[in-house]
Structure 1
């Protein structure tokens, strides 16, 4: 089929096969194609609109997210999907956001798209033009831990608190057992102190640290997760800020922690995202990013 380029569209004579497979928009006896659709059809040998270089130059001028959007479009089509294009997104029965592995992801943009579509498939194009898909959604972050905490006395030791109260560890899984004592992290200690549960000797240094920006950034999320009835522990070994349990009845019989939670700034590189998801998958956990009071669950998916 021979077509032609007209300003923002490529045009072909009406064709039942193209209509049946969801290409373009029919207007009278013509089908008007998005530039990405036109390039796809020409590269597949099903139509010709111009010399390849001229066609690619036109597509690049008209499509901001080219070439990532093209490779995702092609991959989805090759998997048998009918695909529609809307701005920088692709649509099957879900919304897909194409992006290059060298780009950064804006969490404000993710928030905005999730508020519109409910779920989003981040579609990452690597240097070999292969596509990896990540489902993004806002999970229902709610634990089942009910705490009736005992009063605790402790001594501040530079970046943690030492207490003789073993129950706080054995029953509620705060801190780590150190001989006949329990060592609380400064996050745990300050949370208990704020709740009026912990009395600390030499608390001045703890209060100074608690005012630092980095501490406040992490503590805001720690406290929120605790208020959602989770058990929250360090996620350092897993490359995250926290690992999260829905419920712990005994430190001797720990269940599997379900989530890894990372506290993030406004943006993250796609490469860092990929590493984090892969690590979470390798230890059978779900990766959640905490940003600005919101939680975003990222999972690798097949499409």
Structure 2
């Protein structure tokens, strides 16, 4: 005869030999006095579903109910109970011991964030050993996930057909080994959405992978290099690029000789505060000896090369980078699309989370020279990959 549980508040108490049977042997629940244990609703439902409990009394002196009644009652009483049950059951079936990530359960002290629902221990480990393998955040397909603070969690996304997809989110700082210093005497012309350097040294493109040469089959022009606005703004902020002329730039671009302010102002005209964030991330990537190039073809802000010696011997880019604001919330569909695309082109998906530009939005503006001016701007890096537990 299997034991019966009794719902008390938000926990199910089980007596008899429950401690030895469920906690010591299989990592369910938390010990109480003697051999009694307390189970979370999800743990109790899983044991009931498996037939390891004969029933659960929902109230004092009430007759125990089976899985169906307890599941429906718990779904009504507990937030996101159905999706959490699906993930818990799936990981248990995969051989993991899990604990609810809340006090006073064992997993309460192991959870890195309040957003975590369960902690899954390494295979063969129990809650007593404390070796956590996956901090699990359960997410329904139509929920959203905060970008800030995401690193260190495992997302378990439950879709509308109750299938589960797992994603590992890790600290994803990108470091490269490209040793190139651009010259300090570049001069360009600011156009509508790019800068042309007419007499660019060959190494600026060949070794630094800046810009794109202005070439053609019948071209009689040499040394002309087109820079994106973000490339030009970064070079100007470092004092390496001056402007000899501007096309269509009004007085709002800053002082006549201030190339950085003028390029940043044009970038804001073209894409708003998003330009500030992209510039800050671009400068962080260059400062880390990586080479960022546009990720437009992949639906990203940048693709990155870690070690460029020459463009003639260019390696594959290793990352796709999307820049998002600090208050951004991902939809699971958005994450799935980005990660699937990156994997399909043999790259890792990285997100650069930054509050750059939000002050401008809230305060109504700032000096253009301040936008992304420091290569040490605050950026939180997160890489996200598909995971099979």
TM beyond 0.5: yes
Distance 1:210 1:239 in 2: 19
TM-score by length of structure 2 reads 0.72
CA deviation after TM superposition for structure 1 residue 156, in Å = 2.1
Does 2:96 align with 1:10? no
What residue is the counterpart of 1:25 in the other structure?
30
State the SS of the aligned residue for 1:252: helix
TM-score by length of structure 1 reads 0.91
Distance 1:106 1:31 in 2: 35
State the SS of the aligned residue for 1:37: helix
Distance 2:67 2:388 in 1: 32
Distance 1:203 1:139 in 2: 38
Consecutive unaligned residues of structure 2, counting only runs of 5 or more, are 57-64, 103-115, 121-131, 216-221, 250-262, 355-378
Conserved in 2, the CA contact under 8 Å of 1:24 and 1:32?
yes
After TM superposition, what 4+ stretches of structure 1 lie above 6 angstroms from structure 2?
A: none
Matches within 5 A, 1:140-155: 140-150=173-183, 151-155=185-189
State the SS of the aligned residue for 2:352: strand
Matches within 5 A, 1:170-181: 170-179=206-215, 180=222, 181=224
* CA deviation map 1:66-100 (0-9, x unaligned): 22221111110000111111145211222111111
Distance 1:268 1:207 in 2: 28
| 1:102 counterpart (115, 125, 142) | 142
Distance 2:324 2:294 in 1: 15
CA deviation after TM superposition for structure 1 residue 109, in Å = 4.5
CA deviation after TM superposition for structure 1 residue 264, in Å = 1.1
State the SS of the aligned residue for 1:102: coil
State the SS of the aligned residue for 2:280: helix
Distance 2:141 2:149 in 1: 17
What residue is the counterpart of 2:118 in the other structure?
90
State the SS of the aligned residue for 1:3: strand
CA deviation after TM superposition for structure 1 residue 207, in Å = 4.5
| 1:120 counterpart (129, 137, 153) | 153
Question: Between Structure 1 and Structure 2, how many residues are aligned?
Answer: 296
| 1:38 counterpart (34, 37, 44) | 44
Conserved in 1, the CA contact under 8 Å of 2:158 and 2:164?
yes
* CA deviation map 1:237-293 (0-9, x unaligned): 111100111121111111121111101132111110110000000111111111121
Distance 1:65 1:269 in 2: 17
What residue is the counterpart of 1:229 in the other structure?
289
Does 2:89 align with 1:74? yes
What residue is the counterpart of 1:209 in the other structure?
266
State the SS of the aligned residue for 2:313: coil
- After superposing the two structures, state which structure 1 stretch, 221-230 or 149-158, moved more: 149-158
Distance 1:106 1:68 in 2: 19
What residue is the counterpart of 1:301 in the other structure?
387
Pair 1:143–1:203, CA change in 2 (3 A): farther
Conserved in 2, the CA contact under 8 Å of 1:99 and 1:124?
yes
- After superposing the two structures, state which structure 1 stretch, 19-28 or 229-238, moved more: 19-28
RMSD: 1.9
More strand by share: 1
